[in-house]
């Protein structure tokens, strides 16, 4: 099995990366191949709205996202993680999600193979994990429209440092989630 994680935080080694890494570690413990990308470290532009992808089946831009398209298509599970900034995902994550528009054809039907599972990870300073549930619903809807089967959403609230005891609890749960996702029926 192949798992790909995306850390949409501009900060490495923060809560978002910590949770995504623990999901990947759980999958790796079950024998899955894993890869983590820090979106902030990728050199890419946002979608240019040229719609060339609707004609050719591929994004017209050639940058660090280009080889990632194929990796997403061949992965069994993708994990998209972002902190919540200003009641939305980070700008880096938004640009990345916009580039996934290339997965839709001219009829707006997804080219993503059916059954591709996705986990959404959101970290937030607000301790009420339901505070941004409209964001969670919106992102799940977008990813579903793009052809992904959103099988779980992990929300970590009120944690500003990964040394916080609740971060360790969330990491342990994320590890177990990664293990469970290696089951093709999960």
Span 142-172, pLDDT tens digits:
999 999 999 999 999 998 889 888 899 999 9
Specify the pLDDT at position 184: 76
Bridge partners for 83 per DSSP: 123
What is d(CA 132, CA 94) in angstroms, rounded to the nearest whole number? 16
Buried b (16+ CB within 10 A) or exposed e, 90-128: bbbbbbbbebbbbbbeeeeebebeeebbbbbbbbbeeee
3 state SS of 178: helix
Q: Do 148 and 117 touch, CB atoms closer than 8 A? A: yes
3 state SS of 157: strand
Assess if residue 50 is contained within a domain: yes
**Smallest Cα–Cα separation from 77: which of 108, 110, 120, 109?**
120
Assess if residue 109 is contained within a domain: yes
What is d(CA 45, CA 116) in angstroms, rounded to the nearest whole number? 25
Q: Model-level pTM?
A: 0.96
Assess if residue 90 is contained within a domain: yes
Q: How far is CA 27 from the centre of its chain?
A: 15
Predicted confidence band at 185 (pLDDT cuts at 50, 70, 90)?
low
3 state SS of 112: coil
pLDDT digits (tens, 9 = 90+) for 8-57: 999 999 999 999 999 999 999 999 999 999 999 999 999 999 999 999 99
CATH code of the domain covering residue 132: 3.40.50.360
**Smallest Cα–Cα separation from 5: which of 38, 40, 36, 42?**
36
pLDDT digits (tens, 9 = 90+) for 68-107: 999 999 999 999 999 999 999 999 999 999 999 999 999 9
Assess if residue 25 is contained within a domain: no
Assess if residue 2 is contained within a domain: no
Specify the number of domains making up the chain. Answer: 1
Assess if residue 135 is contained within a domain: yes
Torsion of CA 127, 139, 170, 24, to 10 degrees: -160
Print the domain residue range for 106.
10-19+33-181
């Amino acid at each position: 099995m192949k798992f790909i994680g995306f850390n949409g935080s501009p900060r490495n080694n923060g809560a978002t990366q910590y949770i995504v890494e623990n999901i990947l570690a759980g999958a790796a413990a079950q024998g899955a191949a894993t890869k983590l990308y820090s979106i902030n470290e990728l050199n890419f532009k946002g979608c240019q709205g040229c719609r060339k992808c609707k004609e050719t089946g591929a994004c017209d831009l050639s940058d660090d996202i280009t080889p990632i398209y194929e990796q997403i298509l061949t992965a069994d599970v993708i994990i998209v993680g972002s902190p919540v900034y200003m009641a939305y995902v980070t700008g880096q994550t938004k640009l990345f999600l916009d580039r996934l528009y290339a997965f839709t054809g001219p009829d707006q039907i997804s080219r993503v193979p059916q059954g591709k599972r996705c986990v959404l990870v959101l970290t937030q300073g607000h301790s009420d994990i339901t505070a941004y549930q409209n964001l969670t619903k919106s992102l799940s809807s977008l990813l579903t429209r793009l052809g992904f089967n959103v099988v779980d959403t992990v929300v970590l609230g009120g944690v500003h440092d990964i040394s916080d005891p609740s971060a360790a609890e969330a990491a342990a749960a994320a590890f177990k989630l990664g293990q469970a996702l290696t089951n093709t029926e999960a």
